[in-house]
Chains A and B, each alone.
Chain A
Amino acid sequence: AQSVTQLDSQVPVFEEAPVELRCNYSSSVSVYLFWYVQYPNQGLQLLLKYLSGSTLVKGINGFEAEFNKSQTSFHLRKPSVHISDTAEYFCAVSSGDSSYKLIFGSGTRLLVRP
């Protein structure tokens, strides 16, 4: 069965510093991978996705992620964060079955300080 591990529950960082949010997955089938962002009291918004092709995926708001099959990782990065990036970030992997479910990690709260 598929699973997702987000090792960091909270990541504090200063404004304009780089950040990496870690995501590791476990799957016995080919996967699609996603990062979603959730601002307070809002639904989830897709940041980026890996379906196939280039392992470096670029998303909205200057975020990017790299799919590493050998390390089963899909870490999210941004070279310079803004206060407005403060939010909860969720990594997800496809279930691989006809339910089309996504398996979500427990989330990482990014806290950007001035």
Chain B
Amino acid sequence: SQTIHQWPATLVQPVGSPLSLECTVEGTSNPNLYWYRQAAGRGLQLLFYSVGIGQISSEVPQNLSASRPQDRQFILSSKKLLLSDSGFYLCAWTRGLNYEQYFGPGTRLTVT
């Protein structure tokens, strides 16, 4: 069966520090991968998606970047965090076809 992991689960970082969040999928190959953010009390905002290794599409221009160094690994990064980067970050994957997405447990990021 397939599983999706996110690391770390929680993170507290000062403004101006770098960021690296990791998402890995097991049990499938060549998945489509997605990064979402939820600000406090708000809905889902799609940040990036990837349909293959090295292929990254950005949905919202901002202080973040994404990379896909391996087939089942998706990284979300920032060189300098802003207060507005605080939120709950979710990674998801899909095989495509029927569009059903499977979500990871999320990372709670607090920028202080």
Instruction: Scan residues 48-105 of chain A and give those whose CB is less than 8 A from a CB of chain B.
Output: 49, 51, 90, 94-95, 98-102, 104-105
Most A C-beta atoms less than 10 A away, residue of B42, B44, B49: B44
Is B62 part of the contact surface with A, judged by Cβ < 8 Å? no
Q: How many residues of A contact B (CB 8 A)?
A: 23
A101-B34 in contact given A41-B106, A44-B90 (Cβ < 8 Å)? yes
Q: A43 to B32, Cβ gap below 8 A?
A: no
Is A28 part of the contact surface with B, judged by Cβ < 8 Å? no
Cα distance, A51 to B97, chains bound together (Å): 10
A-B contact pairs, 16 of them (CB 8 A): A32-B99, A36-B103, A43-B92, A43-B105, A44-B92, A49-B98, A90-B44, A95-B99, A99-B32, A99-B49, A100-B96, A101-B34, A101-B49, A101-B99, A102-B101, A104-B44
- A-to-B contact residues, CB < 8 Å: 32, 34, 36, 41-46, 49, 51, 90, 94-95, 98-102, 104-107
Residue in A closest to B93 when the chains form the complex, CB atoms: A100
Cα distance, A81 to B57, chains bound together (Å): 40
CB distance from B105 to the nearest CB of A (A): 5
Cα distance, A101 to B49, chains bound together (Å): 8
